[in-house]
Amino acid sequence: MESAKKLKVLQVVGAMNRAGTETMLMNIYRKIDHEKVHFDFVSYSNEEADYDKEIEKLGGDIIRLQRSNSVLELYQVIKKHGPYDAIHAHTLFHCGISMVAAYLAGVKVRISHAHTTLDNSEGVVRRLYLNVMRYFINRLSTNYLACSKEAGRYLFGIGTLNKSKYSFFPNVVDYQRFIHRPTRNVNEFSLEQGIGKNDVVIGHIGRFIEAKNHKFLLQILKNIVQEKVNIRLLLVGDGDLREDIETMVETEGLKDVVHFAGLREDIPTMLHSMDVFVFPSIYEGLGLVLLEAQACGIPCIVSEAIQPEADLNIGLISKLSLADNPNIWANKILEKATYKESDTKKIASGFERNGYSLNQAVRKLMKMYKDDEADTNGKYVDRFV
């Protein structure tokens, strides 16, 4: 039985897999005091997700639902597993469903959280759905969070960005996990993959989906290969388009220089195995992995779709246009691949200065969940960290 003093929050997600939003949420979940805060996770997937076992080990419950657009089903979950102090929805326009269900169930704190800037919506029916959901989100949410200004503008509309209950909430990273190079692990991985000491390793971490633009990345790689450079491309992740990309690698004769690492838990090792990180996304809410890459001191070549909030301003982000010739990207990659930031104090300062402190983020959320606006000194919320 839950203690009467324990703060209870329902997190609404698609599934807790290794993606930016979910990783950010796990960073927070690991940090809270589980004796004083309880998270439940609503998942709209029947399959076990990457973080499910860890969630359960930490004391959280995963509630699987079948009908993503059913207000009634979510309402029944809230009544059955609650009462909840807060509901925190991370599912783009589906947040409207969560806000209606939470409002009807009497949840006091209802948070809609914007994590992306686009979802390729098409068709009259789909646009009508988005407009209705945005109406419910803006009408019934008590708080509005966004990982970037453009993500907030996309989900809520420009008017909401001026509300007192709207705020920027950075995709926080436990950057101390990434700053120091796990040399032994990196060496073992490079040996396992056949990566030589003189090879230039281009890296990318992300789902194999259209938005991540893996095909353009392969075009860039072709240009570098033509320059006779000892080059390797390390692709970390999985997704629906992985098979298509593997086929393209074969067709373009790149099999010997492309490494598919799949889903990995040792992301610090993956990042420190790279000389340069390339992120040519077509759209992106923020790009949490870019923060992790900067924590490792790795230069990052990114598209114009990357939000300015992802740049820690420590000299590691270079931005190019997707309209640029792949050869321009190739030259920039080779130019930056020889530089790595080794000043860990400078990196840590960049995170703290730009608001990416995990402790600060947890305090802010706990204050919001408790609706404790009167406490501005953090005295109450410190007990949840």
SS3 letters for 305-352? CCCHHHCCCCCCEEEECCCCCHHHHHHHHHHHCCCCCCCHHHHHHHHH
In this prediction, residue 229 carries a pLDDT of: 80
Secondary structure tally for the chain: helices H, strands E: 15, 13
- 8 Å CB contact between 101 and 71: yes
Tell whether the model's pLDDT for residue 3 goes beyond 60. Answer: no
Q: What is the C-alpha separation between 203 and 175, in angstroms, rounded?
A: 19
Residue-wise pLDDT tens digits, 344-354: 999 999 998 88
- 8 Å CB contact between 207 and 288: no
The average pLDDT across 164-188 equals 89
The least confident of 108-112, 222-226, 377-381 is 377-381
Tell whether the model's pLDDT for residue 358 goes beyond 70. Answer: yes
How many beta carbons lie within 10 A of that of residue 118, not counting itself?
15
Q: What is the C-alpha separation between 88 and 142, in angstroms, rounded?
A: 10
Average pLDDT value over all residues in the chain = 89
| 7-172+357-384 and 177-342: identical CATH topology | yes
Cis peptide before 326 (omega within 30 of 0): no
Residue-wise pLDDT tens digits, 291-309: 999 999 999 999 998 888 8
Show me where the domains of the chain are located: 7-172+357-384, 177-342
pTM of the entire predicted model? 0.77
Q: What is the C-alpha separation between 59 and 40, in angstroms, rounded?
A: 9
Q: What are phi and psi of 234, to 5 degrees?
A: -105, 115
In this prediction, residue 299 carries a pLDDT of: 97
Pick the CATH number of 7-172+357-384 from 3.40.50.11890, 3.40.50.2000, 3.40.980.10, 3.40.50.800: 3.40.50.2000
Written as six digits, the tokens of 274 are: 């790279």
Collapsing DSSP to helix, strand or coil, 213 comes out as coil
In this prediction, residue 374 carries a pLDDT of: 34
Find, among 50, 316, 286, the residue nearest to 173 by Cα. Answer: 286
Q: Is 120 left (phi over 0), alpha (psi -120 to 50) or beta?
A: left
Q: Greater confidence, 4 or 271?
A: 271
**What is the third-level CATH fold of 177-342?**
Rossmann fold (3.40.50)
Residue-wise pLDDT tens digits, 7-51: 999 999 999 988 878 988 998 999 999 999 999 999 999 889 989
Within its chain, how far is the Cα of 274 from the centroid? 20
Q: What are phi and psi of 323, to 5 degrees?
A: -80, -15
The least confident of 19-33, 52-66, 129-143, 369-383 is 369-383
What are the Cα distances from residue 161, in Å, to 108, 130, 136, 230?
Answer: 21, 18, 16, 48
- 8 Å CB contact between 10 and 88: yes
- 8 Å CB contact between 147 and 331: no
